[in-house]
Amino acid sequence: MTEQQRTEQDGPAPIRLGTRASRLAVAQSQDVADRLAKASGRPVELVEVTSEGDTNRASLASLGGTGVFASALREALVAGEVDVLVHSLKDLPTAPYPGLSIGAVPKRADARDVLVARNGATVDSLPEGAKVGTGSPRRVAQLKAKRPDLDVVDIRGNIDTRLGRVDDDLDAVVLAAAGLTRIDRLDAATELLDLGFWPSAPGQGALAVEIRSDETDRNLLAALRKLDHAPTRLTVTAEREVLAKLEAGCSAPIGATAVVDAEMLLVSATVYRPDGSEYRTASHAAVLDGSAQDRLDEALALGGRVAAELLENGAADLADLATTVAEAPADGDHSAGPGLATPAAAQPADDDSTAAPRTTGTD
């Protein structure tokens, strides 16, 4: 039987989507899988990949930071064990990975952080000395800047573990709104934190679909073009370029927010002293015109200008940006900077925009 006959008999080959095995990772990967199946007309299989970061409870500093969660997935993709990966973009290092590219950036979810507190409390109404949990240096600094009296406790674990501690030894925790939404737990939030005072991590709320740079599957590439959301790619490109130009780790005490408003791209970023006692903010805006690539180039340039102003104003003196210990994910040439290089076949349209695999089928 020929390959064509086998394909006609068995149907189109499934797309293998690599994901971490945590509840949040599987939830967001399943969402992408459903959309990818619809766009491609092919079944999509989730392939769960276990990383050292998932099984080793040693400190993230000793394991290499959040990159340890992405490395096993990427090794599986390079080895041909999977066809695509789904990452939480905020946890993806800005440095490019040899042989891989971002094939799609789907429409972004809510980029804000939320407070989950006992008795419906907000940040302002928490009692003096309240214990608030977070593993993020940025969130620690922001909490201390707003409420120096709070006892901010370092925590690790998946979303359910962190939520459970609010009923145990903590008064509150700070989490990403997008993560809670993806597991249908946003109802637990007692306050949505405004991006004006609480800028989130670069890329927070967005997902990245990663592929091999030499991918030749035309059906897959066409499907990824349908998933890609041009405004989201623009905003996260600008935010991550700030991080890249600051030569900062993905969990450094930095908040960044980019917004597309009509034909304007606005980018703002803040670097904090770890104790929240001091911070620097810079903002720039630019008109977007030209092709999709022209707009991406402008997003990169804008992010670079924001980073340059921060450095000129002494942001690098506030924190050791490159060596800041990274938080474990809670369940999660110019293109080299933000790590969002797109293979030519998967360019967005101008309009809008050592691993152990386990496979589960979905269609």
Catalytic residue ranges: 90-91, 138-139, 156, 162, 250
Indicate the burial class of 185 (C-beta count within 10 angstroms; 0-12, 13-18, 19 or more): middle
CA–CA dist 230, 124 (Å, integer): 37
Nearest to 328 by CA among 105, 100, 55, 83: 55
Q: Taking CA 352 as the corner, what is the angle to CA 285 and CA 262, rounded to the nearest 5 degrees?
A: 35
Dihedral sign, CA of 190, 194, 200, 203?
A: positive
CA–CA dist 35, 243 (Å, integer): 30
